[in-house]
Amino acid sequence: MAICKNCGVELEEVMLSCPLCGEPVAGSGESGTSRQTTPAGEPAFQPRAEMSQPQKKFTWEIISIILLSGLIATFIVDFVINQTITWSEYPVAISLTIFAYISLFAFWQQPTLLQIAGSLALSIVFLLLLDLLTNGISWSVGLGIPLLLAANLVAAGLIGVIYRSKYKGINLLAWGFLGAAFLCLCIEGILVRFMTGTFRFGWSLIVCGSVIPVALVLFFVHLRLKKGRSLEKTFHM
């Protein structure tokens, strides 16, 4: 009979490693690095269904070509009509932002939130450079970067909620509504601030007022519907 040198328990002759701690039995040929065995009954790790690296590269190439061709065409049209760069700055800025995001998501193997943060940083650099190269720093700091930051915050928040939700259903729709309402508030606040120098909210408050009750109803329905559970356990007194 073999004895586990870690737990001191008795192992069957056929066991190559201790089922309690994964310590390999002396002479079984298992390396120390493969100690973590999956105990009986424990679900094995299920990898997420993701694109393979060649698939990611191919997708990135297609999107990049579309963005680049659009970008060049926009620039040329604007330049031909106005003899300088004017309105085309904005579609170009959007194209550069999308490019920054897809590039990091395609080639930077990191957790999603880190990828978002990296993409945000890269986009900010692109926007600043574009703004600087056209008419000097004008719209990027006051408008482009705050809008980008708000959109990223909402996206990161929604990803976090989706990740943490044990039961994914109508609740995600409700969170999406709340995220959109918050983004509307941010957009109006940033736009008004950029144009008038003050903070004022109008249409975005109406959006929030309409969306919040809808979201609450969706949450309620979700709690009611999920796997036939009642609300009693959450609200029991």
* Residues near other proteins, by CB under 8 A: 3-4, 6-12, 15, 18-21, 39-42, 227-230, 233-237
Cβ pair 85, 79 in contact under 8 A: yes
Smallest gap from Cβ 160 to other proteins, in A, equals 17
**Residues 6+ positions from 134 with CB-CB distance below 8 Å:** 85, 89
Closest residue by Cα to residue 64 from 106, 24, 121: 106
- For 143, the token pair is 């408008």
Residue whose CB is less far from other proteins, 48 or 227: 227
Query: 39 vs 213, which CB is nearer to other proteins?
Result: 39
Minimum Å gap between C-beta 19 and other proteins is: 5
Nearer to other proteins, 12 or 50 (CB): 12
The least distance separating other proteins from the CB of residue 227, rounded to whole angstroms, comes to: 4
93-94-95-100 Cα dihedral, nearest 10 degrees: 90
Residue (3 or 77) nearer to other proteins, CB:
3
CA distances from 172 to 20, 82, 132, 157, 177 (A): 39, 46, 40, 12, 9
Query: Minimum distance from CB of 234 to other proteins (Å)?
Result: 5
